[in-house]
Homo-oligomer: A and B are copies of this chain.
Amino acid sequence: MTEKKQDQSLSNRTMGDIARMAGVSESTVSRALAGSELVAEKTRDRIQEIARTSGFSKNEQARNFALRKTYTIEVIFPIERGTLQQVSDPFFVDMLAVLTDELGKRGYDLLMSRSPPWDEERPGCAFTGARADGVIFVGQGRHRSEIRDFARLHKKVVTWGAALPNEDTCVIGSDNVGGGRRATEHMLSLGRQSIAFLGDLSLPEISQRFEGFKSALEAAGKTVSKDLVINSPFDIEEARSATHILADIYPSFDGIFASSDMIAIAAIANLRQRGLRVPEDVSVVGFDDIPSGAHMSPSITTVRQKIRTAGKILVDQLLAAIDGETPTSEILPAELVIRQSCGSGRIPAN
């Protein structure tokens, strides 16, 4: 009883069937359903009516195949091998949501694939397999060069991440350097003396934020202390243990620039656990502006990434590339959003 059945029971009528019902040829049906002016209005209406009442739905797989299009875009999160679970950072999710919306508006679907094209162990990149018309990389991870090679080779690729000056490939990203600088400057302006940095410097976006961090310190006549640069992954659990060390070395610092809001949350949790107060004892500034950041206590001061704008641009540029144009990179402003975790306006006790 376990043999596979081919019971595509219903509504797998083809255009041929409709043609037969309408007493016309298949091509006429095709044109009628496409609303072509070529077929007489009367016939067109009749055919459409028949199609509707008989519950016909066009086989888009076949259609797309004939047109050599797919109307789907592959979205890849170039995270490390393993589960996608790791991207549960709300930032990525929001980006995904925005992309789905923007692509949808333009008639495209979004295909999440599980592996980047250079992943040897797993088969099938939907894009090279012609199952997608283009690809969007969300973040560069540790694969900046692979992405660049891939993009150079295949065109029809845009990536969200850190744009470098001599980039010949389309990358859209926030002004990470500026954001990092402003975040740091803000804490300095509040009188914070020594500020720690939390983040994974092997990721280009993060290293840009560090860049800004560093330049702000230097502009203030300070230097970056090795001890205060802590490597921390995006994942909140791991971030929490990674930043554990921080609380140990208090009071060698009185401010933290966390390279993502999730990391900021982890850091705050850590400090709290050790009895330190945020922002009284330590200022914390995050990055991203995730939705819940405003509702925590303390609410998180952060650098906002204009993610909806970003999604729109990514999609626009990619579709332009698909149309044969050359997409252009862009850097989006990253604005400082001041809330409670930095202790704004309050002079720290010590």
Interface residues of A (CB under 8 A from B): 2-5, 7, 9-11, 57-62, 64-65, 70, 72, 83-88, 90, 93-94, 96-98, 100-101, 103-104, 109-115, 122, 124, 126, 128-131, 153, 155, 236-237, 240, 262, 265-266, 268-269, 272, 291-292, 295-297, 299, 308, 323-325
Determine whether the beta carbon of B85 is less than 8 Å from that of A109. no
Q: Which residue of B lies closest to A156 (CB)?
A: B8
Instruction: Enumerate chain B residues within 8 angstroms of A94, measured Cβ to Cβ.
Output: 85, 88
Task: Give 9 new A-B contacts, CB below 8 A, not counting A96-B112, A109-B114.
Answer: A11-B128, A60-B130, A84-B100, A85-B101, A88-B94, A100-B114, A103-B114, A109-B111, A237-B291
Centre residue among A58, A65, A325 by max chain B CB count within 10 A: A65
Q: How far is the CB of A317 from chain B (nearest CB, A)?
A: 15
Question: What are the nearest 3 A-B pairs in CB distance?
Answer: A104-B114, A60-B129, A5-B324
Determine whether the beta carbon of B104 is less than 8 Å from that of A113. yes
Q: How far is the CB of A98 from chain B (nearest CB, A)?
A: 7
Complexed CA–CA distance, A61 and B130 (Å): 6
Complexed CA–CA distance, A111 and B68 (Å): 19
Instruction: Enumerate chain B residues within 8 angstroms of A62, measured Cβ to Cβ.
Output: 65, 130
Q: How far is the CB of A236 from chain B (nearest CB, A)?
A: 5
Q: How far is the CB of A33 from chain B (nearest CB, A)?
A: 12
